[in-house]
Chains A and B, each alone.
Chain A
């Protein structure tokens, strides 16, 4: 079966760094996406990884290891507005998105 795991909830302090992990087992792999979703709103795109390694985009970075079925999203210099859910999604061999349950990130002052 297809499975994507990520922690349910994480707490971090404003100004700090947090890493959100995602492990996956899917039928085929055509890239991994990270989305941010604030409560009551639609998800917004953060990053896409299809090759191994680190992709950096401002305060956010995303890492992928295909051999390990593993990715993480790294958020630096945390701000209160970063409080949201972070969704990991894998694009399978049919180019369908398989979604993780999401990680709720709580930022404390």
Chain B
């Protein structure tokens, strides 16, 4: 099946620094990738939809200047958490689906556990 790879799996950073998370589709081209955040004991919350070659679409309440998304190629999307604060500590997950629509499962990266100290 299709594979989505996400790195790093775990990162600890100091408050005020920036962290970049990469999401790669390894065996298919993804014009669209999705970035989710998941707090403990809660479900996935869609943060933004990453579109190859154009600006990302952010969900209501998500600060686009804080969570920078770059989808520079058909296999790579990056999420940069800028000026991280302890409240940004969470589990970040990306997903992508092969181009055919409907009935195609979303493949998830392994997730990134971000801890801001």
Binding site for B on A (CB under 8 A): 30-31, 33, 40-45, 48, 50, 87, 91, 95-97, 99-102, 104
Contacts and interface: CB of A to CB of B under 8 A. Distances in A.
Given A31-B102, A95-B102, A97-B34, 9 more contacts: A33-B105, A42-B108, A42-B111, A43-B93, A91-B102, A99-B45, A102-B42, A102-B43, A104-B41
Contact of A99 (B43, B102, B108): B43
A99 B43 CA distance: 7
Given A40-B91, A40-B113, A45 B105 contact: yes
Nearest to B49: A96
B30 to A, nearest CB: 14
A7 to B, nearest CB: 13
What 7 A-B pairs are tightest by C-beta distance, nearest first? A42-B108, A45-B105, A101-B43, A42-B111, A102-B43, A99-B44, A99-B43
Interface of B: 6, 34, 41-46, 49, 91, 93, 101-103, 105-111, 113
Contacts, number: 47
Given A42-B109, A100-B43, A95 B103 contact: no
| A interface secondary structure, majority | loop
Contacts of A43: 44, 93, 108
A100 B93 CA distance: 16
B49 to A, nearest CB: 8
A87 B44 contact: yes
18 contacts: A30-B102, A31-B102, A31-B103, A40-B113, A42-B109, A42-B110, A45-B106, A45-B107, A48-B103, A48-B105, A50-B102, A87-B43, A99-B43, A99-B45, A99-B46, A100-B43, A101-B42, A102-B42
A37 B81 CA distance: 24
A45 B104 CA distance: 10
Given A33-B105, A48-B103, A91-B102, A42 B43 contact: no
